[in-house]
Structure 1
Amino acid sequence: MNSQYFPRTAVVLFALLAFIFFIFSPAQAFAQGAGVGIVPAVIDPAKQFEPGDVAQFSIRVTNLTDGDMTYYLYKRDIVGVRDQGIPIFADSSSGTTGYELSDWITLPSDSIFIEAGKEIEVPFTMTVPQDVSPGAHFGSIAVTAEPPKLRESGAGIGYEVANIITIRIAGDAVDQARIRQFSTSKYIYGSTNVEFSARIENEGNTLISPTGPLEVINMFGERVAILTFNESKAGIFPKTSRSDGLRDFKVTWADESPGFGRYEAILSAVYGPEGKMNTISSTVTFWILPMNIITPALIVLGVLFLVIYVSVKMYVRRSMAVATSGVTRRLVRSRRQNEFPTLLVLISMLALGALFFIILLLIFA
């Protein structure tokens, strides 16, 4: 037997066994199969509640794994919102914001058992306290596969999904917002592919979802596009110790037709409860100068100016030559009088042609 054959075979077998162990290890299989869904993702009733009201809601929890699972339910408060509308959940170090509601929620059980691929409905009760402050209050029901002991010790797998619950309390609720910034990514574009950015500040004590039209108007006052601002109706959390009450939005205008000249964009967004809608608006201007139009125009103008320059220069040289040739002053004056109107007509025609060409570009571009 070859002395080198056995070591090579051993290495290959060891690598194969390691690969099989990695693929079929319990941790790796669990990570691939872990999953849970919760519906609805947002509970935001239009009704305004009074202190002492009791309401019934429910969520549907789905086991997305290929095995039977026990899930655990937790009530959580929301203390702010990150970029892209991702909520910030309260933890042990979070201070109170005055917008909490997790203590209002009563769950039927702290855990639920769901068979593989199945879905169950979980009802819960919302009891509004008597001393609640007016405005919007925010909380959540989280679903996780972590048992309570592992969650408290920090040794869990860290898998969790949660919804967002918003309850409005009647009273002196303040729905107020303003557009801090409305702009385009550039001032001059080469085509009709424009990105708008808006930063809106929530100055009230309720969750707002501003939405509305974004109109684009060309230099002739014609409306060339109507876009929908905040089509997903993403919300802006009020100001708290963990939230600055600001949110950035982006809208893109993409059109296949060519554009040219100065444009104005008008943003008009509405927010607030039904019957008490408020409006905020802002405008921004920008230019579209496509090079496939600008470049030929500049070339034509350059040629026209070059022709004018050469013509004037030739006229001056000819006049100087006539003046110094010893011909009589009367003859020189006569030639100048005959040549000057012709040159003036030529220059005027070239200038008018250039102006006409520019007007055509502006109208038909």
Structure 2
Amino acid sequence: MHIRRRGTPRTSHATVAHVLLALFLALVVLPVPAAAAASGPSAWSVRPAGAAADGVRRPAYALDAAPGTRIKDAVLISNLSKLPLSFQVYGTDAYNTPRDGALAYREAGQVQRGVGRWVKLRTNALIVPAGHSAEIPFTLTVPSDATPGAHVGGIVALNNAVEQAGRDAGVDLGIQRAIAVRVQLTVAGPLTPGVTVRDVRLAHRPSGVPFRSGRATLRYTVVNTGNTVVRPTARPRVTGLFGRTLKTFRAARLPVLLPGQSTVMTVAWSDPPPLDFADTSVRVNAKGVPGASAESGSVLLAWATLAALLAALALLALALSRVRRRRRVLRADIP
């Protein structure tokens, strides 16, 4: 289920209303299983039409083709509600969101460079009566210069109805729901899977209390360097002076990464040592892909702890100096 937020300002000036409407308009389409249904009074489902060769319903479009090939297929939109529903239907490119790597789809008005550009539906707008389904044929034309490997996109059915969702900063908000069915096309040619990790950084936020643990945040970037879809697993680890293990993080299973896409992973560390040298390493693996790793070094330094240690050393040096002075005085007094 996907949400489009629309703001409708309460104003009598049409120009201002249009500006505010543009500012509050956004679409985020997240991946959902094919045949997924939006719930509520305007419920509907979207899935590939027909069935696979074995008679089983297809969960998504998994297509293989050579450059220059034209593929014909269809998408089925079912109105599960008791009212007619109006839809905008379009092909779109998929991408990974930088923040968490989730699979998302581009808006209809955005530039499409892959599957979203190659898919042509017989119609992009339709009304489906209550309790009925509509099948929309489409053609996917693979360019003659298409690069080998995976090209991922989707077919989105956006409900034109706007549902009220409250107010924010004096603006009435509404939502539009959409469902995307994934289209994964593999273009014939050499397949070169690859994954790497970059920009490993450990940010330390020390405590203001001496010898008390602060907090730290580990960030690293995982990149799909090949031309196939991968599902990496990352294993971060931090060692201290003399190779002591300071922290072994739980292995993180990342979302599906598309070719050329990357995601930044963030991991919290609640009890780093107040003073140490940290060697942080991250290793990533994926099925059928050679593993890769990256590391970086940083100083875990809490000024309060360092000040306390320096003060303790200064007191110790002062005490030793006094002991030595007393010994010299005692020796001088001995006849």
TM-score normalised by structure 1 residue count: 0.52
CA displacement, residues 113-147 of structure 1 (integer Å, 9 cap, x when unaligned): 456xxxx9888888765766322223222222328
What residue number does 1:219 align with? 241
What residue number does 2:11 align with? none
Q: CA deviation at 1:74?
A: 0.8
Correspondence 1:83 to 2:105: no
Task: Choose from 160, 163, 166 the match for 1:146.
Answer: 160
Task: Choose from 85, 96, 99 the match for 1:70.
Answer: 85
Matched ranges for 1:262-273 at <5 A: 262-271=277-286
Q: Does the 8 Å CA contact 1:79/1:90 hold for their aligned counterparts? A: no
Q: Letter of the 2:178 partner, please give it.
A: V
Match of 1:185, SS? strand
Match of 1:186, SS? strand
Q: Cα gap change, 1:233/1:125 in structure 2, threshold over 3 Å: closer, same or farther?
A: farther
Q: Cα gap change, 1:249/1:297 in structure 2, threshold over 3 Å: closer, same or farther?
A: same
Q: Cα gap change, 1:200/1:232 in structure 2, threshold over 3 Å: closer, same or farther?
A: closer
Rounded to whole Å, the distance in 2 between the matches of 1:218 and 1:59 is: 57
Q: Cα gap change, 1:250/1:61 in structure 2, threshold over 3 Å: closer, same or farther?
A: farther
Q: CA deviation at 1:184?
A: 1.4
Matched ranges for 1:78-157 at <5 A: 78=93, 80-84=95-99, 85=102, 87=104, 89=106, 91=108, 94=111, 97-100=113-116, 103=119, 110-114=126-130, 133=146, 134-146=148-160
Correspondence 1:302 to 2:310: no
Q: Does the 8 Å CA contact 2:234/2:285 hold for their aligned counterparts? A: yes
Q: Cα gap change, 1:127/1:218 in structure 2, threshold over 3 Å: closer, same or farther?
A: farther
Q: Does the 8 Å CA contact 1:79/1:97 hold for their aligned counterparts? A: no
Rounded to whole Å, the distance in 2 between the matches of 1:112 and 1:158 is: 20
TM-score normalised by structure 2 residue count: 0.56
Q: CA deviation at 1:282?
A: 0.5
Task: Choose from 192, 208, 217 the match for 1:195.
Answer: 217
Task: Choose from 190, 193, 200 the match for 1:175.
Answer: 193
Q: CA deviation at 1:199?
A: 2.6
Match of 2:263, SS? strand
Rg larger for? 1
Correspondence 1:281 to 2:293: yes
CA displacement, residues 31-75 of structure 1 (integer Å, 9 cap, x when unaligned): xx88667679xx777x77244697989788786x8x635142512
Rounded to whole Å, the distance in 2 between the matches of 1:128 and 1:79 is: 15
Q: Does the 8 Å CA contact 1:188/1:286 hold for their aligned counterparts? A: no
Q: Letter of the 2:285 partner, please give it.
A: V
Q: Does the 8 Å CA contact 2:156/2:178 hold for their aligned counterparts? A: yes
Correspondence 1:228 to 2:251: yes
CA displacement, residues 166-220 of structure 1 (integer Å, 9 cap, x when unaligned): 3333422343444341111238676363211113444444444433211233435
Q: Letter of the 1:285 partner, please give it.
A: G
Match of 2:190, SS? coil
Q: Letter of the 1:142 partner, please give it.
A: V
Rounded to whole Å, the distance in 2 between the matches of 1:57 and 1:337 is: 107
Q: Which has the higher strand share?
A: 2
Rounded to whole Å, the distance in 2 between the matches of 1:280 and 1:61 is: 45
Q: Does the 8 Å CA contact 1:61/1:122 hold for their aligned counterparts? A: yes
What residue number does 1:159 align with? 176
Matched ranges for 1:234-249 at <5 A: 234-236=256-258, 238=260, 245-249=261-265
**Unpaired stretches in structure 1, ≥5 consecutive residues:** 1-32, 148-156, 239-244, 320-334, 340-365
CA RMSD of aligned residues (A): 4.8
Q: Cα gap change, 1:143/1:98 in structure 2, threshold over 3 Å: closer, same or farther?
A: closer
> Looking at both structures, which has the greater relative contact order when contacts are Cα pairs under 8 Å and sequence separation is at least 6?
2
Percent identical across equivalent pairs?
A: 13
Match of 1:309, SS? helix
Rounded to whole Å, the distance in 1 between the matches of 2:44 and 2:70 is: 29
**Unpaired stretches in structure 2, ≥5 consecutive residues:** 1-39, 48-58, 162-173
Rounded to whole Å, the distance in 2 between the matches of 1:144 and 1:232 is: 28
What residue number does 1:242 align with? none
Match of 2:316, SS? helix
Rounded to whole Å, the distance in 2 between the matches of 1:291 and 1:68 is: 66
Q: Cα gap change, 1:167/1:270 in structure 2, threshold over 3 Å: closer, same or farther?
A: farther
Match of 1:227, SS? coil
CA displacement, residues 61-99 of structure 1 (integer Å, 9 cap, x when unaligned): 786x8x6351425122217555334645265673x6345
Q: Does the 8 Å CA contact 1:137/1:168 hold for their aligned counterparts? A: yes
